[in-house]
Amino acid sequence: MNRWLNSHLQTLKQVIARWRQHLFSNLLISLTIAVTLALPVIVYLVLTSFSHLTSTIQSDSHISVFLSSSATPTTIDSIHNILTTKEMIAQFHFVPKAEALKQLMMDSNNSNIISTLPENPLPDAFFIEPKSLASEAIEQLKNELAQLDGVEAVQVDDAWLKRLSYLLTLGQKALLVLASLLGFALFMVIGNTIRMQILTQQEEIEVSQLIGATHRFIRRPFLYAGAIYGFVGALFALIISTAVIALFNLSISALATAYQSDFSLRLPSLEVTLITCLTAIGIGLFSAYFAVAKSLFKSIQ
């Protein structure tokens, strides 16, 4: 076990030493990898931020039940009792038309217009918070409420939320395609870099084979090199993503303040950091393995 560990440590030290010898060129390659990785990370952070915003808005959504102008106090009490017994309703509250008119007149722009009306045009209304936000459950509850005596209209203001959900779903599919294409590009970048290293170390590899070095021994430093390229590129990608998201948040915070919201794009979390690093290291290992398999052994056999 100690012999195996020492062998890997020596190989890793050798790879790091070579990495430092060509530090500038290796950093340029790592930055290229970083830009490739940063694009899907930024898109993912934007999508998850808006997905969280959508779920938050949905949790605060209500169903508006407007009563007919002829609804009597008895009818209102009857509807109140029915709503109390419905298991699909989390909570509700009643807003009489007089109170609704008072709230509307608090706006100075509306008070002059309303004062010219002969009577209160607003209906009595119940505002309901459903337990389930599933489309089927909302539609079923809406149909049941519309059939109650004294109900004029039932309104669910979720059309724009559905459109936003569709856009987010489309964005997730686009992210999958983008990540796949950029992952392939990353595979090719690291693979070509490893192949160039194989060519520059061709004589050293041939000497190693003459003294009995195994394929595994020859392959090992290139695998470490691919993993290091992926890891360093992932670190740079996270730095770039954090800087870009922070820059976006400067503009978003001003817009959110105007709408009395605290919305902001999410920065890379620990989970995103781990996934990005592990994915980049994995791509680096696989691309290095295939580069060695294709370029090294075919050329020396």
Domain encompassing residue 40: 2-57+162-300
CA distance 154 to 142: 6
Same domain, 76 and 117: yes
Instruction: Give 178-236 as a DSSP string.
Output: HHHHHHHHHHHHHHHHHHHHHHHTHHHHHHHHHTT--HHHHHHHHHHHHHHHHHHHHHH
pLDDT for the residue 230: 92
Domain boundary, last residue among 121, 140, 157: 157
Same domain, 253 and 207: yes
Residue 238 has pLDDT above 70, yes or no: yes
- Residue 146 sits in a domain whose CATH number is 3.30.70.3040
pLDDT for the residue 221: 85
CA distance 14 to 17: 5
Same domain, 153 and 194: no
Same domain, 178 and 122: no
Whole-angstrom CA distances from 136 to 57, 250, 286 are: 18, 39, 45
pLDDT for the residue 122: 72
pLDDT for the residue 260: 57
Same domain, 13 and 125: no
pLDDT for the residue 65: 85
> Mean pLDDT across the stretch 142-163?
78
CB 243 within 8 A of CB 34: no
Same domain, 296 and 175: yes
Average of per-residue pLDDT values in the chain? 79
pLDDT for the residue 231: 94
Q: How confident is the model at residue 83 (pLDDT cuts 50, 70, 90)?
A: confident
Same domain, 104 and 217: no
pLDDT for the residue 270: 92
Domain boundary, last residue among 122, 157, 192: 157
Same domain, 87 and 153: yes
Domain boundary, last residue among 126, 157, 188: 157
Which stretch, 117-131, 170-184, 267-281, has highest mean pLDDT?
267-281
- Is the pTM higher than 0.85? The answer reads no
Provide φ and ψ at 126, rounded to 5°: -110, 135
Same domain, 83 and 147: yes
pLDDT for the residue 34: 93
Same domain, 241 and 214: yes
Residue 282 has pLDDT above 90, yes or no: yes
CA distance 28 to 153: 64
pLDDT for the residue 111: 53
> Mean pLDDT across the stretch 165-173?
79
Same domain, 107 and 226: no
The better pLDDT of the pair 89, 119 is held by: 89
Number of domains in the chain: 2
Residue 286 has pLDDT above 60, yes or no: yes
Same domain, 53 and 126: no
